Amino acid sequence: MTTREDVFAAIKSSTLDVLSDLSPEQVTITEQLKALGANSVDRMEIVSMSMERLRIKASMLELARASNIQGLVDILWAKCNESR
């Protein structure tokens, strides 16, 4: 079963791939991607890469509800366990 930690790890890896000048310590669960310097395309790419890592699919409508990384973890974690 995919844990919340697994989901956060996927998002963190994707964030560090896309925002290559960040250090791992900067990506915390309470952060907002926008505050970390991600523009709109960066944010979409981070989400897309995370979903691919987790082998899940969520709609833009569902994802729009997330206001920070914690929110994103919650939505993607729910998707992971929905398909199990």
Partner 1 sequence: MDTVGVAGMGVLCSIGAGVPAFRKALEEGRSGIGWLEDFAPFTGAPIGARVKEFSFSALLGERRLPASLLRRAQRSAGRSPLSLQASIACALEAWEMAGLHERTVEPSRVALIVACDSSLERYSFNGTAKLNDAAEYLSPRFALHALASDHVGTVSEVLEIHGDGFAVAAASATGNVALVRGLQLLKLGEADICIVVGALSELSPLALQAFHNMGAIYGSAGTAEPESACRPFDSEASGFVYGQGAACLVLETSSSARQRGCSSSVELAAGACVLDGNSSSNPSQSGECRVMLKALSQGNLQPSMIDYVNAHATSTPLGDRTELAALQQVFGAAISRVWLNSTKSLVGHCLFSAGVVEAVATVLQMQHGFVHPNLNLQQPIARDCRFAGPRESIRGVRIATALSNSFGFGGVNSSIVFRAARPGAPAVVWS
Site for partner 1, rule CB under 8 A: 17-21, 41, 44-45, 48-49, 51-52, 57
| Alpha carbons 55 and 29: distance in angstroms, whole number | 21
Minimum distance from CB of 43 to partner 1 (Å)? 9
- Of the pair 16, 29, the CB lying nearest partner 1 is at 16
Tokens 């833009």 sit at which residue? Answer: 60
Minimum distance from CB of 19 to partner 1 (Å)? 8
Minimum distance from CB of 18 to partner 1 (Å)? 8
Q: Which amino acid is at 11?
A: I
Query: Residue 18 is encoded by which pair of tokens?
Result: 């896309």
- Of the pair 30, 52, the CB lying nearest partner 1 is at 52
Determine the Cα angle at 83 with ends 8 and 1, to 5°: 50
- Of the pair 30, 40, the CB lying nearest partner 1 is at 40
Backbone angles phi, psi at 65, to 5 degrees: -75, -20
